[in-house]
Structure 1
Amino acid sequence: MSIEINNESGASVDERAIGLVARHVLDSLGINPLAELSILVVDEAAMSTLHKQWLGLDGPTDVMAFPMDTLDDKPGLETDPGPSLLGDVILCPSVAARQAAAAGHSTDAELFLLTTHGVLHLLGYDHDEPEEEREMFELQSRLVTGWAEATGRGPVRTPLPGTAGEKRG
Structure 2
Amino acid sequence: MSIEVSNESGLDVSEEELISVARFVIDKMNVNPGAELSMVLLDTAAMADLHMRWMDLPGPTDVMSFPMDELEPGGRPDASEPGPSMLGDIVLCPQFAAEQAKAAGHDVEHELALLTVHGVLHLLGYDHAEADEEKEMFALQRQLLEDWYHDQAQLYRRNRQAERDSSLLGKSEYFMTPAADDQL
The TM-score, its normalising length taken from structure 1, stands at 0.86
Give the Cα separation in 1 of the matches to 2:74 and 2:83: 13
Structure 1 match to 2:178: none
Which of 78-87 and 116-125 deviates more? Answer: 78-87
Residue type matched to 1:116 in 2? Answer: V
1:146, distance to aligned residue in structure 2 (A): 0.8
User: 5+ unaligned residues in a row in structure 2: which ranges?
Assistant: 155-184
1:82, distance to aligned residue in structure 2 (A): 1.6
Structure 2 match to 1:81: 82
Residue type matched to 1:124 in 2? Answer: G
Which runs of structure 2 are paired with 1:93-132 in the superposition (5 Å)? 93-132=94-133
Q: Secondary structure at the match of 1:70?
A: coil
The TM-score, its normalising length taken from structure 2, stands at 0.79
Structure 1 match to 2:46: 46
Misfit runs of 4+, over 6 Å: none
User: Matched residues, percent identical?
Assistant: 54
1:10, distance to aligned residue in structure 2 (A): 0.6
Q: Secondary structure at the match of 1:152?
A: helix
Residue type matched to 1:141 in 2? Answer: R
Q: Which has the higher contact order (CA 8 A, sep 6+)?
A: 1
1:150, distance to aligned residue in structure 2 (A): 1.6
- Work out which of the two has the higher radius of gyration on C-alpha atoms and give 1 or 2: 2
1:73, distance to aligned residue in structure 2 (A): 5.6
Q: RMSD of aligned C-alpha atoms?
A: 1.6
Count matched residues.
153
- Does residue 142 of structure 2 align to residue 137 of structure 1? no
User: 5+ unaligned residues in a row in structure 1: which ranges?
Assistant: 154-169
Residue type matched to 1:26 in 2? Answer: I
Q: Secondary structure at the match of 2:84?
A: coil
Change in CA separation of 1:45 and 1:98 when aligned onto 2, cut-off 3 Å: same
Verify the 8 A CA contact 2:72 2:80 in the aligned structure 1. Answer: no
